[in-house]
Amino acid sequence: MSFNYCNQPPWVIASRHFNRHPQRLEIQGVKEANRFLFEKLATIDSQEARAVVFNDYMSVKFQLHHWQEQTETARKSIRNSYLRFLRGWMMDSNSIEGAVLKRWVESRMGIPPTFHRAPVSGIHSEAYFQFSVDVMKGSARTNAIQSQLDLLYEYCQYELFRKISPETANPTATITLYRGTYDAGEHQVLEQVSRREQIVRLNNLVSFTSDEERAWEFGSTVWDVCVPLSKVFFYNDLLPGSIMKGEGEYLVIGGEYLVRQVMCTV
């Protein structure tokens, strides 16, 4: 655990107790600095129309639409927007793009990764060094990627609470998601609650799906997990023409979670 830019300390966000008693999470200063965007979104009823406004705002704010006017090096940097990193995660969470997303969680939430290509035992380990190398390679490829991801997270939170908890914007709202794994034993078990329930420590950013059947395609063991809405970083239908369409995929901030093994009914 380290410093963060969030309204809650790292040890709280990563704890099992936070998942039982969720609170809203906000990245310091992001909504205030982009208040005109959120004021505009509040006047639009259509989710698709709001997504178009968000994409346009990101394009202008980070000059993503000016890439053709730049030098060759600058073109590559600007074209590799937040969408590039989401696609990279979808292909391989241990990719360079995946490292950049995990670093965002580490720098903003204060939760370091526990796995990137290999188990990460601490900040002085060889695995952490290799993780940092991937982060540097990825960050050099784009323009202000951490700031782009800040705004993406806050937009995701805005849409998710508007979709699932529109009347009250309930900060304690949760969603049940599923995760398939071929080697459940690779996860650090902190407590055996019952025969089918465990407290496990998940990586600082983890893929889930909202579709139980889909989860079986990713492993011989499937867990269902109650996830606070405030820990959802991205979900598949947030943006038009989603790069994760059809998978019901959610990217979730990790930490300690109560997982329950789902019994196969086939």
d(CA 211, CA 233): 18
Q: Which of 127, 224, 140 is nearest to 179 (CA)?
A: 224
Domain that holds residue 204: 174-261
pTM: 0.91
**Last residue of one domain, picked from the residues 131, 146, 164:** 164
Q: Which of 114, 151, 156, 138 is nearest to 257 (CA)?
A: 114
155 lies in the same domain as 187: no
Would 16 be classed as within a structural domain? yes
d(CA 132, CA 242): 29
154 lies in the same domain as 73: yes
202 lies in the same domain as 158: no
Pairing of strands 232-235, 221-228: unpaired
Successive 10-residue mean pLDDT values, the chain, 266 residues = 84 96 94 97 95 94 68 54 92 96 97 95 95 94 89 96 74 91 83 96 96 92 96 92 70 97 81
**Last residue of one domain, picked from the residues 115, 134, 164:** 164
**Last residue of one domain, picked from the residues 120, 142, 164:** 164
> DSSP letters along 101-164, please?
HHHHHHHHH----SBSSSB---TTSHHHHHHHHHHHHHHTTSSSHHHHHHHHHHHHHHHHHHHH
144 lies in the same domain as 192: no
227 lies in the same domain as 117: no
